Structure 1
Amino acid sequence: MKDRIKNMSDIARTRMMLVIAVTVMFVIVYWGYIFGGRYLLFKDAGMDTICQFYPMYIHVIDSIKEGTLSLWNFEWGLGCDTLTRQEWIMDPCAWVIIGTGVVFGVETVKNMLLVMQFVKIMACALICFEFLKYYGASVRARFIASCLFAFNGWIMLWGQHYYFGMACVYLILLLLLVEKLIAAYQEQRAMKRYYLAVGITVALIFIYSVYFGYMIAIFTSVYTILRMIYVDGVKTLWHRLWPVIVTVVLGMLCAACMIVPYADIVLNVSTRVEGSLWHRLSQYLSLTYGMNYYKVLAGRIISDNTFGILGIDQKYYEFPQLSFSVLGAIVLPQAVWYGIIKDRNNVERRKWILRIVMLILMVAAVTVPMVGAIFNIGCESLVEGIPAMRFTYVLMPLMAVIYALFIDRCVERNDINRWLASAGVLFVILINYYAFRHYRLQYKWINIAIIVLNIAVIGIHYTTGKVRIMLGLLIAGACFEGYVTNNVRYTYDRTTECINSTDFHGRDTTHILEYLKEHDDSFYRVEKTYHDFSATGDSLLQNYAPVSMYCSTMSGSLKTFYEKMYPTEEYRYIKHDLDGALYDDAFAITNTKYILSWTKLDWDYLEEIYEYDGTYVYRNLHAGSIASLYYDGKEADRTSHFVRKTDACVEGSVDAKEDGTLMLAIPYRKGWNVYVDGVRQQIREYDYAFIATDIEAGQHTVVAKYENRLYVIGALLSLAGVVMFAGWVVKLC
């Protein structure tokens, strides 16, 4: 073994050391999860993990085992297209998690979440190490910067939402391939394999997520153009650029099977992008951030936790995540000083100007609302008054470059500007003082530790004149920041009974749901005044059709329905504990036929039909069918009998007394077709959010099917894309 290590090249040994270092850092950061019995399932602001993602993984695993996986899902609120959650199930790490669950059982999921987090972090480190080579950084600088990139604030925080972390992996991989293409062109080497890799990577990115793929495409486009100009100038730009453009377009075409249907969801369905694109962008054009935003932004340069764990009015995740190191206030001014001010006469004018342009773009990305809006297709943020800021991961590779060059230029040469360093430490003290004064910090020791780390750097430099110790402090700071972000939190653990059970159906719910199936074969919805596992995820785990849901990207029509019919609820979070006295009409329209409760209910329209071990089952006297008949605009009948053949097919019979309108309590969505006596009908939106069609007097057989043709169109385009991409690669030979 020793001989094998001796025979390794310096780079190979460094890679091995990088793997060891990242593993040790991971153990430190996730100590409580590896040895303390905690799970990456959060009870606090990260509750999406338990309310949405984890239940969805279990649901998909069960659906695969039962052979019921479908393009439509009635177990998620009133129903939605499965592709609404594209990233959740198309993340390659999710495939591993789901596949492991199918083979070895759902109890493996909670542990595989941590394993996949390690895989993503390690991938980021190794790819970044190769990426930084093309900036001429030393091996030591690449090593340190790659460790910091692997544990950057975006991965540590948004990465807790599982699939988010994969965006960083794909981004740095695509940038690495761009650098290889540029280098191959300079050295006049064969580039076919790099074009092939770029096309495949682009396709995989958009298959994983159209949302993140869009952001990555915008950033990589700007990066590629500026980088090509930086390396070789403008004269040969188009000659080098157009093959890359063709490759990327063909890669996207290969992913059309996902892009086409998802684009329809984003542009025509999701409430995050209401109104016309121009209307949304024009709003942000005239928007300016308030002073509080910039104060928070300043604090986030240092740490995601400057204003407290779960601070900033509980918008912990939604504000920009810029933390790359708790020493950022020292490093970034030094990098700007040496890279732009001192190097003005030492580099070509073109390169100097491009450095300024890139700096301006980085700053504008988080300070100018329009830039954020463009990155997010005009999507609303969950923070009122600012566009969604989930794109800040695109800045992380640039931060890695800045830190690597800082290490080479300042640390290795022992050339630190003391005035700038002192100003940086003063900034850290002031911003943390502001946090002490204006925020109720639950853990003030975090802020104190950040101040101490920064003072230590300048103190050591002043007393010894050396700054190489800063390399160790950079790594220590990354471990500290990651540990705080992940461990000073409220999570589920091995003591949580419902998490450690393989039976997610909870107390008596399984028995009751089976009882209802035996006595009622129609399609009905169920609500509970309690939850066994997750306030909004029980339906996914227990396989029943609910009304409750938690979704920030629901359709605009459903949003209107919820706001009109559930006026006391925030539309993104329709909870399980609905007030029956207020929601009689809503329960009737949606055919919420059964209510389960651990306590007696005295709602006028409920009839107790069953009781099992302290759980009461009530039938809604006003709900009879998923179908409602309307004559002259007035509802007359809910007695039709409909059954759910599959998640994508509902059928039944209707006896219309006269010509009228048939409304089915299925969310209106392109792709649903209604057949009356075998003849396809024109459908329209009715009762705010549901599908309806005209019906003639008499008895009819009605079938509703989800047959989204956009999937077929997308699949055909993908097939064409694969053929064209193969031809393009052959042409490049």
Structure 2
Amino acid sequence: MKKKDHVQQMRTVLILEVLLFFSGFLVYWDYVFGNHFLAFGTFADVGSDTVQQYLMHYHSVVNHIRNGNVSFWDFNNGFGINVFQMNLFDPTLILIYLIGLIRGANHIWGALVYVQILRILLAGLAGYLFLSEFQFSERSKLLAAYIYGLNGFLMVWGQHYQFGIITIYLPLLLLFAERTFRKKRYRSLLPLIVFLTVIDSTYLAYMSCLTTGVYLIFRVLLVMELPVKERLNRFLRVCLGMLLGVLMGLCVLLPSAYVIFGVTSRMESDSTLVQRLLEGFRPMQEDSYLTLLYRFFSANLLNKNGDYKGCSNYYEDPSVFASIFLVIFGVQYLCVLWRSRMSHYKKCVFYGAAGLIAFCLLFPLAGIIFNGCSVYMSRFTFVFLPFFVLLIAWMTDFILAGEKLCIPALIATGALSVCIYISGWKLTSQPSQKQLILGMLAVSVLSMAVLLAGQWLKDPKYQKGFCTVLLLLAVADMCMEGKGTVTDRGAVEKNDTTCLLDLYNEDVKNALAWLKETDTGFYRVEKTYLEGIASMTSLAQDYSSISTYNSMQNGNVKNFVFSSAPDLLFDGLNYYCYSEHPGDGRLPAFLGVRYLLSKEGDPVPDTYVFVRSFGTISVYQAKDDASIVSFYRAARAMTNDAFRRRCRSCHSQQSRNKVLLARLGIEESQEEIENYQEEAKKNGSTDPVKKTAEDNYAGDRGTFTLEKAGNDSHLTGTAEVPSDGYLLITVPYEGGWELTLDGEKQEILKADLGFMGVRVRAGSHTFSLDYHPPLLKEGCILSLIGWLIYLLYLAAGVRNNRKNKRGVNIS
């Protein structure tokens, strides 16, 4: 019997994967066989982050590995970032990196669509394995797993951000949590799945583990046949397995958590934790509920880009689509559960679970908690998808068992779906999208009709045909929805003449190669033009710049840019772009931009002089020394608060530049600064600061060198300064950096709100900067302990299995 069941399961998996494979190719036909990459690059498209940010990250990983510059810090990303901000351990992205390493970074673009199809196949398989833990028929599991493979979250977020893999990890996490709870085989894989989830994304791992914890509470409530002590023991066993997985992943989790909580301003809030949680019990605005209703029927009824009609935007609004069957069966579930054969107690538990999901969707509390108790975001809605397909599988078997549906509710659901799709058709301005909406309307009406007709089909021989029709309707619905997510998008064309030609421009490549040969120091390069990609070409073309796009910007650098260099802002506080104001030569020189790449006709500041041309690209060098390191006499220091006020009182970037060049903000008290100024004066440092110092200051800055010592995590330099004062190093002020001056470690001061500063005496000095990610060492030690515990656990399991197979000797 077991062998027969196994054959049936393999047959179901084969059908499932074949269906998903061809569905994936159908959805992404234009991206596989047509003239577009699965990469949305135009700024008119809400998904432009695909090209503007994430693809550039993939290029950067490939470039660093190829160059041997593998380090925990990356100076090619704006002013520099801790690489634990990056998504480095997604196994599907590792395939992207391998393709870039083997065939070249330009082949990454074409590989994206195949990676997305692979994710669809794996998500479907993971969904099937999770469903197989329960007593569902193979037909219902096939229908539900197919729907999960093309679920709304994966289709919307999967091709855009690096979130798609979580739709694979979450059902596997639930699967092995269930197996551990039931003491079934392969439960030892639970810590491993948690580990993989943790190293992939701290953010998503937190949401997934929290969801699993809530799921376990309901499992404890449902196993009434077990004693309370045994239920609690099983609950604790699963929790310990999950904690072990977290322990195994602390080598990535701790450094990543430091970046999120200690470096970026992403988790900052003006209200207290209690105030934020209390806000979670207040109803949301009316638009959010209407948007939620539409998104159950499709993510594509409210448009995508500038004319989006939803509450937030195409990506940030709830991702709850799991075919029209979720809507139909969800309503039916609430109507028929009470007359099912399960006990009254279990019915109450299941109604409680439904009520909890409804509360999470209707009130902001869940969105606040899942987002680290900061602000409400609806990204967490992917956690409901495995339970949605559980519901679909249960209802399918309920119908196949000959149970009656609630006809009035079915008719009402059909009427509502017609109204929603017609409304969406009217709201949509894209002709091709309108056709897809009409198709989904037809599928919904047919689905209602088939389910209605099925109420009078008593003969079991019709069941197979009935299930086949439901599956075909689900295929049509999911494929049209998937097609809608990539229809009328700003996808990059394979023969693109703006984005791709500049990114792989041989003239730019030759100019950068010449700079590396002729100037071996560490400096920054900028472009005076913008073509296709606004701020991140430095990652793909392997040079250091000040332009960047990063949703997790260093909070200190943010303060500097907002107060002292707002001209760098391109599209909000997380987007810095020099080419928006290429006529400004003072600011880039101050920030260490030694060279500018320009095209004919571009404005070039008079503070830079032409040095050489490479085809269409001209190279300009700063007339005065433009170094990442600069010097300020002690008398020119002021508190960071005073520096901020001075900069914000200016009405133009030109006047702010004068402040930047003449004054230095230091994170010290006024008393500490004055004491050091008095000490410097005694040592012969004189530099009276007048009220108009910003207008006439042209003091001696000293001479400096700065080089990378092997990779981006190690810098060495020299400084010759005329008096006591401060060195300003325009590297982000961030934990993990160690500064050694003349062989002695020095305290790094926060300078100019966002950078590094250090006190120096008059004379010649050597210094070095070394970066060690905070909490990495501690995380590695704890991870090693976790892995040792896990290996001992596996060894003990193997030993027990051998004992059980040998049996007990009773002679």
> Residue in 1 aligned with 2:328?
330
The answer to whether the 8 Å contact 1:589/1:623 transfers is: no
CA gap 1:146/1:542 in 2 versus in 1, 3 angstroms: same
Q: Which residue of 1 aligns with 2:53?
A: 52
1:528, 1:595 within 8 Å by CA — same for their partners in 2?
yes
Report the alpha carbon displacement of residue 414 of structure 1 after superposing the two structures with TM: 7.1
Matches of 2:34 and 2:492 in 1, distance apart?
A: 11
| Residues 1:447 and 1:281: Cα distance change in structure 2 (over 3 Å) | same
Query: Displacement, 1:459?
Result: 4.2
Shift of 1:580: 3.7
1:648 aligned counterpart, secondary structure: strand
CA-CA distance at 1:516 after TM superposition: 2.6
Structure 1 equivalent of residue 505 of structure 2: 506
Report the equivalent of 1:75.
76
- Aligned counterpart, 1:656: 721
Quickly say closer, same or farther: Cα 1:433–1:271, change in 2 above 3 A: farther
| In structure 1, C-alpha distance between the alignment counterparts of 2:413 and 2:227, rounded to whole Å | 37
1:682 corresponds to 2:681: no
Task: Tell me which residue corresponds to 1:724.
Answer: 789
Which residue does 2:244 correspond to in 1?
250
Counterpart selection for 1:295 from 272, 290, 293: 290
RMSD in angstroms over aligned alpha carbons? 2.7
Q: One-letter code of the match for 1:22?
A: L
CA distance in structure 1 between the partners assigned to 2:227 and 2:593 by the alignment: 64
Residues 364-421 of structure 1: CA deviation (Å, up to 9, x unaligned): 22222121111111355xxxxxx22222211110011011112122366373323212
Letter in 2 for 1:641: T
Letter in structure 2 aligned against 1:333: V
Q: How does 1:28-43 map to 2 (within 5 A)?
A: 28-43=26-41
The 1-side partners of 2:11 and 2:429 are apart by 47
Shift of 1:584: 4.9
Tell whether 2:290 aligns with 1:306.
no
Q: Quote the offset at 1:220 in angstroms.
A: 0.6
Shift in CA distance, 14/458, structure 1 to aligned 2, threshold 3 Å: closer
**Shift in Å at residue 627 of structure 1?**
1.0
User: Which residue of structure 2 aligns with residue 154 of structure 1?
Assistant: 153
Partner residue, 1:695? 760
Greater Cα shift, 251-260 or 709-718: 709-718
SS in 2 for 1:674: strand
Q: Is 1:229 the counterpart of 2:226 in the alignment?
A: no
Equivalences for residues 270-289 of structure 1 within 5 A = 270-275=264-269, 278=273, 281-282=276-277, 284-285=279-280, 288-289=283-284
Q: What per-residue deviation string (whole Å, max 9, x for no partner) do you get for residues 508-555 of structure 1? A: 212222333344333221111224663222101111111111111112
One-letter amino acid of the structure 2 residue matched with residue 9 of structure 1: V
Q: Which residue of 1 aligns with 2:380?
A: 391
Listed one character per residue, the Cα deviations across residues 490-513 of structure 1 (whole Å, up to 9, x for unaligned) are 312332357878x94415212222
* Partner SS, residue 372 of structure 1: helix
Corresponding residue number in structure 2 for 1:383? none
Residue 307 (structure 1) shift: 0.6
Equivalent residue, structure 2, for 1:136: 135
**AA of the residue aligned to 1:59:** S
Letter paired with 2:439: A
Among the aligned pairs, what percent are the same residue?
26
Higher relative contact order (CA 8 A, sep 6+): 1
Alignment of 1:52-131 (within 5 A): 52-85=53-86, 87=87, 89-131=88-130
* Structure 2 counterpart of 1:477: 477
Q: CA deviation at 1:109?
A: 2.2
2-structure distance, mates of 1:350, 1:730 = 41
Identify if the C-alpha distance between structure 1 residues 622 and 414 changes in structure 2 by more than 3 Å, giving closer, same or farther: farther
Map of 2:603 onto structure 1? 601
Question: Partners of 1:622 and 1:415 in 2: how far apart?
Answer: 84
Measured against aligned partners, the alpha-carbon deviations of 1:252-310 in whole angstroms (never above 9, x if no partner) come to 11111001111111111223211487278358437642111111111001111011243
- SS at structure 2 position matched to 1:390: helix
Letter of the 1:663 counterpart: L
Separation of aligned partners in 1, 2:408 and 2:514: 75
Instruction: Return closer, same or farther for 1:622/1:372 CA change in 2, 3 Å cut-off.
Output: farther
What secondary structure, in the 3-state scheme, does the structure 1 residue paired with 2:605 have? coil
Q: Which of residues 369, 373, 383 is equivalent to 2:368? A: 373
Q: Distance in 2 between matches of 1:486 and 1:557?
A: 37
Bigger mean CA deviation after superposition, 612-621 or 672-681: 612-621
Partner secondary structure for residue 9 of structure 1: helix
Whole-angstrom CA distance in 1 between matches of 2:781 and 2:704: 39
For structure 1, the residue ranges without an aligned partner over 5 or more in a row are: 381-386
**One of 331, 334, 342 as aligned partner of 2:339:** 342
Residues 149 and 400, structure 1, Cα contact 8 Å, conserved in 2: yes
Cα pair 2:254 2:776 within 8 Å, conserved: yes
Conserved 8 A contact 2:591-2:730: yes
| 1:623-674 deviation per Cα after TM superposition (whole angstroms, max 9, x unaligned) | 5211122222135526422223321122211122222121100001111111
**CA 558–432 in structure 1, closer or farther in 2 if over 3 Å, else same:** farther
Cα distance in 1, alignment partners of residues 400 and 482 from structure 2: 24
Inter-partner Cα distance in structure 1 for 2:495 and 2:25: 21
Measure the CA separation in 2 of the matches of 1:284 and 1:557. Answer: 29
Distance 1:376 1:623, change over 3 A: farther
- Structure 2: runs of 5 or more not aligned: 458-465, 638-662, 665-698, 801-811
In structure 2, what is the Cα distance between the partners aligned to 1:237 and 1:368? 31
Shift of 1:160: 0.6
Query: What secondary structure, in the 3-state scheme, does the structure 2 residue paired with 1:641 have?
Result: strand
Letter of the structure 2 residue corresponding to residue 615 of structure 1: I
1:617 is matched with which residue? 619
Structure 2 CA distance for partners of 1:368 and 1:463, relative to 1, 3 Å: closer
| Corresponding residue of 2:514 | 515
CA distance in 2, matches of 1:440, 1:504: 33
Question: Among 440, 448, 457, which residue is 1:450 paired with?
Answer: 440
Runs of 4+ aligned residues of structure 1 deviating over 6 Å after TM superposition are: 5-8, 498-501
TM-score, normalised relative to structure 2 = 0.82
Partners of 1:90 and 1:207 within 8 A in 2: yes
Letter matched to residue 241 of structure 1 = F
Q: Is the 8 A contact 1:307 1:441 kept in 2?
A: no
CA distance in 2, matches of 1:709, 1:266: 12
2:732·2:755 contact (CA, 8 Å) conserved in 1?
yes
Contact in 1 for aligned 2:702/2:719 (Cα 8 Å) = no
Structure 2 CA distance, aligned partners of 1:349 and 1:615?
Answer: 76
1:641 lines up with 2:705 in the alignment:
yes
Alignment of 1:500-579 (within 5 A): 504-506=503-505, 508-531=507-530, 534-568=533-567, 569=569, 570-579=572-581
Instruction: Tell whether the 8 Å contact from 1:306 to 1:435 is kept in structure 2 after alignment.
Output: yes
Computing the radius of gyration from Cα coordinates, the structure with the larger value is: 2
Contact 1:673 1:705 in 2 (8 A): yes
Q: Letter of the aligned partner of 1:347 in structure 2?
A: M
Q: Summarize the Cα distance change of 1:441–1:342 in structure 2 as closer, same or farther, 3 Å threshold.
A: farther
Q: What CA distance in whole angstroms lies between the structure 1 residues aligned with 2:579 and 2:66?
A: 31
Equivalent residue letter for 2:442: V
CA distance in structure 2 between the partners assigned to 1:218 and 1:8 by the alignment? 33
The residue type equivalent to 1:64 in the other structure is I
SS of the aligned residue for 1:539 comes to: helix
What is the count of residue pairs matched by the alignment? Answer: 709
Q: Find the aligned partners of 2:309 and 2:625 in 1 and give their Cα distance.
A: 44
Which is worse superposed, 394-403 or 270-279? 270-279
Shift of 1:326: 3.4
SS of equivalent residue, structure 2 residue 317: coil
Task: Using the TM superposition, give the Cα deviation of residue 727 of structure 1 relative to its aligned residue in structure 2, in angstroms.
Answer: 3.3
Does the 8 Å contact 2:38/2:109 carry over to 1? Answer: yes
